[in-house]
Structure formats: structure tokens, C-alpha cells
Amino acid sequence: MDRLFAPWRMEWVERDGSDDIEGCPFCVLPERADAAEAYVVAESERAFVLLNNYPYNPGHAMVIPREHTGAYTDLDDETLFDHARLKRRTMAAIAEAFDPDGINAGLNLGSASGGSIDDHLHTHVVPRWAGDTNFMPVCSDAKVIVQAVAESYEQLRAAFAGGEGTRTLESGSVFVEF
């Protein structure tokens, strides 16, 4: 019998709920003083990059416009362009940090799309490797994540920080200027 070893999950299991977020997490998290605690990796003028707390794979990030809306058609041209450029920069940082074989990127729009937060749009950017899908989700209804989110954060943040036109903010996240 194989054993799954994930001691970093104990922090999640033992949490007391005192850090539960009131309101929209995509509006609250980028305002926190400690970017690493909130998993805010990088920011631009109109969008930011947040690691997913429930990742499909290590390095699963989301690029999120600062504007609180669930409708893609509500975003003005400047926000759309900033969001698109930050997505491109996120894909480059993921490629540098994790060297995946591919990347899935996409939006879940509307309550029927499968997303858990439908009133603040966000683009998932998920690194993929040949062989990262195995029997566990099919036979055991479980996904094995092989890296702690905090470790993914450090790798991805370093990749952003090494890029051109960046500076580190007081919070610790990396600001990307276009």
C-alpha cells in the first residue's frame, strides 16, 4: 500500500476559522499587508495574481481584475488589456518557475460554469505535466498535490521578481509595470 504524506495540510485541518474572509476574497486578499500570507504573488495597475488555495496542480494561479464584477463584458478596455498582459506575464513566470509541459488557462463565467466564486471574474492559469493525471481522481476521488502552496508561492514570486519592469511592494508582492 502506498502512503500519501502531506504534513503541511495539518495547518489547514487545525485552523480555527478566525481567518475566514468576510466579503469577496478577491477584493479582500490584495489589500492585506502580508502578500505571502494572502498568496498575492504579483500585481499590476488593474489586476493581480493570486495562488489558488485549492490548486489543481502546483503553481495553479489566478489572474484577477481589481474591479469587482462577474461579467467579462463589464471590463473597460484598459482593464482588459492590463488583465491580458498580466496573464501573459503569469504564463511566462509559471514556465520559468515550474517548467511544465503545458498550461491550461481559462475563465469560469456564471453560476453554471463550475466556478466557486462567480461574482468576481478570474482567469485560472494551471501548469500541466505529461502524466499529472492518474488513477487517484478516478478511483479514489482524490487529487494528490505534490507541493505546498507556500512553496509554489516562493517559486512563482521569484520568477516574477526576476522579470523586467518589476519592483517589490511593501507587502512583498511583485509589482509589474507595463
- Which residues are catalytic, by number? 122
Measured distance CA(121)–CA(103) in Å, rounded: 19
Task: Report the candidate in 66, 39, 19 with the shortest Cα–Cα distance to residue 155.
Answer: 39
Nearest-CA neighbor of 108 among 151, 74, 71, 160? 71
36, exposed or middle or buried, with CB in 10 Å at 0-12, 13-18, 19+?
middle
- Residue 51 DSSP symbol: E
